[in-house]
Structure formats: structure tokens, C-alpha cells
Structure 1
Amino acid sequence: MPKILIVGGGYAGFYTAWKLEKQLRPGEAEVTMVDPLPYMTYQPFLPEVAAGSIEPRHAVVAHRRHLKTTNIITGKVTYVDHARKVATIQPPVGEAYEFEYDIVVVTAGAVSRTFPIPGVADQAVGLKNIEEAVYIRDQLLTNFDKAAGLPAGPERDRLLTVVVVGGGFAGIEIFAELRSFASSLLKRYPELSFEDTHFHLIEAMGRIMPEVSLKTSHWVIKNLAERGAQIHLETQLTSAVDGVIQLSTGESFETDLIVWTAGVMANPTIVRHTDLPIEERGRLRVRADLRVGTDEEIIEDAWGAGDVSAVPDLTGAGVGGYCVPNAQHAVRQGKLLAKNIVASLRGELPRQYYHKSLGAVAGLGVGVGVLQSGKIAMKGVIGWLAHRGYHGLAMPSWERKWRVIWGWWNNFWLGRDIVSLEAVQHPRAGFEEFAARPKPAVEAAPEEPAKKAPARKKPAAEKQPAEVTAK
């Protein structure tokens, strides 16, 4: 029975395994998926998680709950040696070991791409996983708690200043959602006013959201400006040391929260540690039928999809001729990849990936959103409903869909939960502070050597009687 190894359990990897379970016949192949995390993150929901609109656990899909027959290995693939058909797996505990396979599927995803700007690595946080979104939410809430106890001044301004770097879809959504969240918090903090909050988005290009029309992007900028959020176009971040923001325009201000969304890159753990072909931008070289290789040469029994792969965009709409790294492509590629693998096992030819985007939706805070489909653009409440409707249905499995939609329904009547759980970063702090500890052993003082007492002359009165002496 052939062994299929899926490297990565994100969108493409999860959907590949999920669909293989439904399409493979019993005993036709054995599927194993390896990922450092035990769940898939639905990344379009991360801005709403950060803004308190979605419960964090509802935005992830547990591998072991929804993959019934796939072998799940929680670990990291550190090398893929396709010449030997062996992958090296490093588990969380124990020594690394080799895993033999017959077919490899590389769907390791992407990570945040940063630049060597002073302070960014020490001060900023990305938006690629659920833990980062939770951190952003708790940090903003905690900063409001701290600022409420301070007088107006530089320290309060620093705590209530939010900076987002990157004006793509992810950057604009997290920026707008946090602006919406902060505005809703003000009614709970009478000590603070709207003017105390400061929101800055930094974008090096001359426009935002290239996925929508220029007219729609201008509407988004105007809408955010009316809500007290400032967008710096054609501006670069030059330094963020100690939270002091320095811009290429000469502007400078301090912040306690920097969110980095300025690009992604293929997972370097895989693309830098494999003998599979890698293209000039550091992605796995993949054909339109999702087999690894080129039009002239096919690497047998190797497949790739998702953000880690350079998949040709046959519609001609992709940047540089390749599919852009987003969830819309990764999900569809994963589904087709499962079909193509099954077809290959049965001696059939695989199909080429072709997907023409029907449009894009973005949530800009509760009640505000945009939808762009061709030349048609919907803004405001209609765009927001389209955003929630699309992603609510796109969330894998009805169990997850129900949890997300039920959470939105509860928030509609009860409002967003504003409890910060920042203390979870150091869960044992309270216990350690008051925990009883054994008293340290007291070391005995070293004994001094005994001194010989000098001979004492008995006084005359102590002399024994003569008769005793005589005896």
C-alpha cells in the first residue's frame, strides 16, 4: 500500500488529507500528515479574533477531530530527501527520525517576511497564527486598562497608539478591526476619550488593497480617516527601536503595539532543506497540474500546493504569472491535489489548476466591509454581510461553521467580550508568588577545637585529711 506523506497541515495540506479520506478506496493508500501544530488556522478570521469578534478556538480546526483515517504526526519536517524518498521528522520530544514514503505532498505554507529594520524583530508581532491574534487582542485590552489609570501625557499616548505595517488585505482588515474594537471600548472607559486613541497604517506603495479597484481603495481610506485612523502612503518604516516609530517622511511617535503584515515568504524550513527544485523567489517549483517540476521535466511522486509553491496562474491574472498566496487558492488547490493524486494512483492523468477569482471581500470592523467582484463594488453594511457570509460558509466543517456563526449571534445581542487574558503568557506567575517553599537548611557553625584546661592548684582548704592520704 503506497504511503502518502503530507508536509504541512494548513489550508492546502488539511484539504488534501480531508478530500483524500473521502476519495481513496479502503486499502488504496496510507496517508500521513506532519505539522508542528495540531490544528489548521483559518487565517481570514484572525483580524476578527484580534478584535474580539470571534472566540480564538473557533477559528482553528483540530486535525485529529476532523481527519478520521489520516495518521497525524505533531512534529516538524526538517529535510525532504526525495532522491531516497525519505523525510526527516523532528518531534517535540525525542530524537529526529527518518520517515520513508512513496508520494510526498509539500504544503508547508508561508511565514511572515520581514526586512532588517532596527527594532522590528524585537517589538513587532505578525498575523499568521492564532497565538499572534490573541496576543494583539490582549495587548490592546491591557493597554486600555493601564491608560485609564494615567493622566494625559506621553505614556498614555504610547499605550493607546497602534501601528500596522503593510496595506494589503490582511493589513487593512486588522487595522480597521482594531480601530472598530478600540472605539467600542471607549464606552467602558470613561477616563479615556476618542482623541486619546491613535491609529497609523504604514504602506510603502502609493495605494492599498491591490485586489480591489482604485476607487474602492480610496473609499476605504476615506472611511478609515472619518473613523480617526491615519494611513501613510508611499512611506517606509525606518526604525522601531524601543517602540519609537521613525518614518521615511521624518515623522516620529511612540507605540506599544506594532503589527507587521508587509508580506509573506515560503516556509524556509522546507524550501531550504530539500533536493526538490526551488524557483528564484524561494518557492517550490510546481506545474499547473500541481506536480513538482517544469513543463519539460516532472519530478515523479512529488506534489505541491499553497503558499509554499509557485503554481502557474492559467487565468493570466496572477502576479508574475503565478497564483497569489491566499486562502482562496490554497483551499481549491488542496481539493484538486487530492483528486489528482487519486487519479495518478489509478493510472489516470491529473487535471490542471484553473481558478478565476470571482472577487474579494474584506471586513473593516463591525458593520463595515467591502466586496469587489469585477467592476461591481459593495461597501458598508452590505459589504460586511457579504464578508461574513462568505467566510462563515467557507470555514471547514459544519461543526466549525456553527461555532463561528453562533458566536457572531451572541455578540450581536451581548456585545464583544472585553476580558484580557494577557496573564496567560505567564500562567504560573500568581502561583509562584504565593507558593510555600521549604525553608533553606541552616548550616551548622564549625566547632572550634577544644582547648586543654590549665591545671588548677587546689587551695589549702581543699586538701584531703592526712588519714585519707595515708590510706
Structure 2
Amino acid sequence: MTKPRILIVGGGYVGMYTALRLQRKLARSEAEIVVVDPRSYMTYQPFLPEAAAGSLEPRHVVVPLRKVLPGCDVLTASVSGIDHARKTATVIPHQGDAFEVSYDHLVVALGSVARTLPIPGLAECGVGFKRVEEAIFLRNHVIDQLDIAESTDDEALRRRALTFVFVGGGYAGVEAFAELEDMARDACRYYENITPADMHWVLVEASNRILPEVGWEMGQYTLERLRERGMDVRLETLLKSTVDKHVVLSDGSEFDTNTVVWTAGVKPHPLLKETDLPVDDKGRLMATAELRVEGVEGAWTAGDCAAVPDVTKGPGNFTGPSAQHAVRQAKRLADNIVAELRGLPTQNYRHEYAGSVASLGLHKGVAAVYGVKLKGWPAWLMHRAYHLSRVPTTTRKAQVLADWTTAALFRRETVSLGSLSRPRDEFSTYAVRTQPEPALNPGKGQ
């Protein structure tokens, strides 16, 4: 008898943790596990701000899928469509022709993508903050802007370089905003003509508060601390345009900048619309409390791409798009698949949200966990301790701890390696170019 195939679409939190638990609980003879993701690694997103600020080595915030999933078949490719009626998915590798993968059980773990708005100029000059590539780009970019400002006498160019705009006052936006400012402030000591007061850090938030994840009181505390650092936080304000890097805000202010970072929310992955699975009005897969796709046999889902009922709050409530829920849902999802394969009863996902912790720069933070509220150094320590306990694999835990220990003993490096993304520039500039050989006329003799 052919063993069943479990196809996991997505190698993020839900995808990787589901596969990890399945390979531990299932014998190889019980099932074949296939994981498909365009990247060969899972990114631990809560560490992106610290990687951007130079407190963590970028390679230590990602986990290679093939290394942690030796019992799975990992395909580095994209899925362009799912036909669940036929139980097949169309897979497109980075090179080569598309092909179909059949399955018996499907796990849709696509997560989310940045939710953008049709703002003029945003697509051309904005950058997100969901991937390690974006975090490292921003680190290099911010230092590049300091170098530009230090090396010019043009005041307009200098102001443009030293103005940094972040849009979105949620967890990701505030942490990225605060950590990068803290890094740039520290870097100013190495520049003769730049002080922290010369920089203009602007956070644009459409609502009347920031960090809703930690509650009103702690959000207000964060707002006050950021403003004390001279950071310009604008509430109830919208980004109207950023054409040619000229920012126009709804409060009437206008200025130029070389840096626009978009962190204003997420939306379910658009691939969900290319399937025959049921989605709700927000584009999320409709899920049951058991983490099955509603009304469909053999399909499972969890995380940001799914509308998972929150049984701790009653009918009509859904779990939020957080790493905390995604990791726990993955474990329940894997256990339910194992139970299904073995003919055992499945169970509902149940977890009451514990709260949030956020880093606001070195030795600065805010936390609200199980009703306990912490500020400053204690919150920063809790943030590190919590995420160190959650980052996957013992190797990564040790490497992260080593990075933090080294950072505590030595100052952060402030060098930009942005040219790493253009390694052929110098070679191409100075390479000797030759003229192509003239084509031979086949009608003439040699």
C-alpha cells in the first residue's frame, strides 16, 4: 500500500513547525512529508529588528529547512495554484518547467504579505520589513545615508539623507523604527559632522495609538519614550504620496527623504485566491477549531492566512496574526494530522493570548504578559529571554546567545556592506571589453 503524502505549502512558522513535529511523531513508513517554499529557510521575524540594528548576525535569525527537516522532502519553489478537487498543486521551481505534486493531506501555511495601499510613489521607493533581506538592506541603507550626509556640503541633500520615514505603528513598525534609530544614534559618535539632533525620524500612524498589542497604557509609555528621544511620532496621520521620494502627509507637511519603510499591516497571501478552497471576506482560509479547512476533507491550515476560531473568546472571534499563535497552532495541527492518520480523535486549538513584548533599542523595551507590565531594562530582558526560548533549534539558541554576549562586550559595527548586493559593479567597470568578431560571409572563400 502506498503511504500517504502530506504536502505543506509554506515554510514559515506554521509550515516549518508542522513539518518538524510530523517528522518526529510519524515513522517514515507512515507518511511522506513534502514542504514547498520559495526560500530554503524559515525566518524568525521577531529578531529582524535586532538583526537590522547589528545586535544579531543575519544568518542566526534564519533556520535552514533542509537542516532541521531531514525527514522531509524540501522543494525550493513556488506554488502557483492548488486544485484540491484533484488533490494536486502546481509547483514552479526557480529554474525549469512547472510540474504538479499530488497529495493526500494538504497543509496551507502561506502566511501573509505586506498590505499596501495605492499611494503614489510607494511601490517605487518603499521597502517592507518582513524578510531578513529587507532588514539587512535597511541596516546598510541607514549607514549609507549617514555616509552621504557626512560627505556633502549640500544642505538639501543632507536633510534628505538624514530623514527616515516609517509608516505603521504596530509591533513590527515600532520595533524597527526604535532599533534602527538606536543604532544610528550610536553610530553618530564616528561622524564628525553628524549628531543625533541632525537626524529626523518620523513614524506615521493612521490611528490614535501605537503598539496596540501591549495595551493603551504601555502604548502611551512607548510613545512618550520615543518622543523623549526626539523621534517624530505622528498619530491620526496618513501617507498621501511619496513620488520621487517627496513625502506628503495628511497633516499638510511635506519633505524629502531617501528612506520610506512600510509596516502598515499584513494581508493573507494572494495565492489563496488561486485555489478552490473557501475563503472569507478578508481573503483568509475558513478554518475550524481543529484547524481543518472548513467543509473540506484532507485540507488543513493555520497562521496568518487562516481565520481560526478563538474558542477562548466565544463565537465570532478569531485568533490574531501573531507568531505566538502560529507556533502553537502548528503543533496542534501536526498532532491532529497524526491522529487522523491513526484513526484517533482530533482536538480543537485552544490558547489564550499571553500578551506581547517589544524591544525599543538596546536596554529599552516594553512588555505586557499575563497582566504583568514591565518597562525599560526589565522589559528588554524579558523580550530577549522569551524569544531566545522560542527560536528553533539548540544551535540557533547558542548562536543568538553568543551574538548578544559579544555585543555586550564590544560596540556595534557601523560599516555598510550594501555593495554586497552588487558584487559585479567594480569588475564590470574595469573589465576590458572586446568588440564581437565580424560575422563570416558564407558565400566567400577564406
Q: TM-score, structure 1 length as denominator?
A: 0.91
What CA distance in whole angstroms lies between the structure 1 residues aligned with 2:273 and 2:37?
Answer: 17
Q: Residue by residue, what CA displacement relative to the aligned partner does 1:104-162 show, whole Å, maximum 9, x if unpaired?
A: 00001110010001111111100111111111111001111111112361210110111
1:292 alignment partner, SS class: coil
- Classify the secondary structure of the residue corresponding to 2:213: coil
Confirm or deny that 1:55 pairs with 2:52.
no
Question: Is residue 2:350 matched to residue 1:348?
Answer: no
Corresponding residue of 1:267: 269
Q: Classify the secondary structure of the residue corresponding to 2:432.
A: coil
1:314 corresponds to which of 291, 297, 311: 311
Q: 1:314-352: CA deviations, max 9, x gaps?
A: 12299x611111111111111111111000001111111
Match of 1:437 in 2: 433
Q: Which residue identity does 1:308 align to in structure 2?
A: C
Cα distance in 2, alignment partners of residues 209 and 438 from structure 1: 58
* Cα pair distance change 1:141/1:272, threshold 3 Å: same
- What does 1:25-424 correspond to in 2, within 5 Å? 25-151=27-153, 153-269=155-271, 271-293=272-294, 298-316=295-313, 321-424=317-420
Q: What whole-Å deviation, never above 9, does each CA across 1:362-414 have from its counterpart, x for those lacking one?
A: 00000100110244210000100000111111100011111111111111111
State how far apart, in whole Å, the 2-side matches of 1:442 and 1:3 are: 57
Worse-superposed segment, 421-430 or 10-19 = 421-430
Cα separation, 1, equivalents of 2:45 and 2:324: 11
Post-superposition shift, 1:439? 4.7
Aligned mates of 1:317, 1:73 — CA distance in 2: 39
User: Structure 2 CA distance, aligned partners of 1:152 and 1:434?
Assistant: 30
> 2: distance between equivalents of 1:224 and 1:120?
25
For 2:51 and 2:232, the matched residues in 1 are separated by 22
**Which residue does 2:443 correspond to in 1?**
none
Q: 1:443 to 1:272 in 2, by over 3 A?
A: closer
SS of 2:330's partner is helix
Give the aligned length. Answer: 438
2-structure distance, mates of 1:64, 1:353: 28
> What is the Cα deviation at residue 5 of structure 1?
0.3
State how far apart, in whole Å, the 2-side matches of 1:172 and 1:190 are.
29
SS class of match (1:352): coil
Would you say the 8 A contact 2:8–2:34 is kept in 1? yes
Q: Could you tell me which residue of structure 2 aligns to residue 447 of structure 1?
A: none
Q: Which residue of 1 aligns with 2:444?
A: none
2-structure distance, mates of 1:418, 1:23: 45
Match status 1:16 vs 2:12: no
Q: Give 5+ residue unaligned stretches, structure 2.
A: 441-446
Are residues 6 and 442 of structure 1, via their aligned partners in 2, closer, same or farther at CA, if it must alter by over 3 Å? closer
**Aligned partner letter, 2:307:** A
Q: Distance in 2 between matches of 1:100 and 1:17?
A: 17
Give me the CA root mean square deviation: 1.5
Change (3 A) 1:317 1:55: farther
Q: Which runs of 4+ in 1 moved over 6 A?
A: none
CA contact (8 A) 2:28 2:71 kept: no
Q: Which residue of 2 is the match for residue 459 of structure 1?
A: none
Please list the CA deviations of residues 7-59 of structure 1 after superposition, one character each: whole Å capped at 9, or x if unmatched.
Answer: 00000000000000110123000000000000000011111111111111110
The separation in 1 between residues aligned to 2:289 and 2:436, in whole angstroms, is 69
Q: How far does the alpha carbon of each residue in 1:72-116 deviate from its partner, in whole angstroms, 9 at most, with x for none?
A: 001011111010111110111111111111110000111001000
- In the alignment, the residues of structure 2 paired with residue 442 and residue 15 of structure 1 have an alpha-carbon distance, to the nearest angstrom, of 59
Is the partner of 2:297 in helix, strand or coil?
A: strand
Secondary structure at the residue paired with 1:75? strand
Distance in 1 (CA, whole Å) between partners of 2:400 and 2:183 is: 18
| SS of residue in 2 equivalent to 1:208 | coil
Identical residues among aligned pairs (%):
46
Instruction: Tell me by how many angstroms 1:210 deviates.
Output: 1.0
Q: Secondary structure at the match of 1:138?
A: helix
Q: CA deviation at 1:440?
A: 5.2
**C-alpha distance in structure 2 between counterparts of 1:337 and 1:439, whole Å:** 61
Shift of 1:417: 1.9
Shift of 1:433: 1.2
